[in-house]
Amino acid sequence: MQIPPLLSQGDKIAIVAPAKKIQSDLTFAVNTLTEWGLTPVLGEHVFEAHHYFAGTDAQRLQDLQSALDNPEIKAILIARGGYGTTRILDQINWSNFLENPKWICGFSDITSLITELNKHSVACIHGPMAVTLDWDEQTTESLKSMLFEGRVNYDIPPHPLNQLGQTNAELIGGNLSIICNTIGTSSEIKTKGKILFLEEVGEYFYHLDRMLVQLKRAGKLDDLAGVIIGDFSSMKDHKDSFGAEALEVISRHLAHLNIPIAYGLPLGHEKRNLPVYCGIPATLDVTEESVSLSFSLSTIQ
């Protein structure tokens, strides 16, 4: 696994929009990154609008490709999610980036980019995007620590559905819908021996069950080292009730696994969306008293 270099004062960080059009201001993100000592560089087409998308496929690809190839850009912060990254994913030329990898951070629709980076054995960050950078101070400060210091540690309260245990393994995951969407593609998620983390927003309970069945049938729940269940936000029942809510649906599919499982990590579509390294070994410790998740790049470089 290639680990991009940590950032230094004066480094340039690109903001690009490979998915949905931006419908809010980027001033807070630009100001925050500047306060960190970075120089934000906005993609040429970042404020474009082509129907649903932040510009045409060609424009979004051009901005992302330019940020990947430019040696002066040391990190890429995705502007927002929505939908659209998979439309350009297979057209990306990774050759220059793989020679000089840089941190890429995003979530939701950007899960497709995360699994693609994992295929290329390059670490990245599942975390806040430019339009969400003002949502939560702990989230934002944690991202700063990860980019500049290479470490982060989270402690959260226990959950009644947790399964106790400790593991140290590479972390991978993201939005459940997008993870399922990768199956059968060149960027299909690889889960064997890894800690899998999942989050979702706005789905019906029976859709959730269907996606978990798909993961199971595809072998993605086999041979896991651990599981982290993040936020499952704004989930809903059908008029013909499914008979179980989100966490109950999830626990039915995971309870047979004899591995550490942690529920309730603030990760996903809520205000607090704690960033995590993907492709990097994490230590997950689930006890009766608490859950801790920690990363330190210094121990693996």
Task: Note if 199 is an active site residue.
Answer: yes
Label the pairing between strands 281-286 and 165-175. Answer: antiparallel
DSSP at 291 = E
Beta strands in 8-54 (DSSP E): 12-16, 39-42
Pairing state of beta strands 291-296 and 281-286? Answer: antiparallel
- The β-bridge partners of 291 are 156, 286
Which long-range contacts link 27-36 to residues 24+ away (Cβ below 8 Å)?
28/133, 28/134, 29/77, 29/130, 29/131, 29/133, 29/134, 32/133, 32/134, 32/140, 33/77, 36/144, 36/147, 36/148
Establish whether 269 is a catalytic residue.
Answer: yes
From the candidates 116, 170, 199, 203, give the one annotated as an active-site residue.
199
Contact criterion met (CB below 8 Å) for 130 and 11: no
- Kindly name the residue from 45, 108, 177, 200 that is annotated as catalytic: 108
What 3-state DSSP class applies to 233?
strand
Instruction: Give the rounded distance of the alpha carbon of 109 from its chain centre.
Output: 9
Active site residues: 108, 199, 269
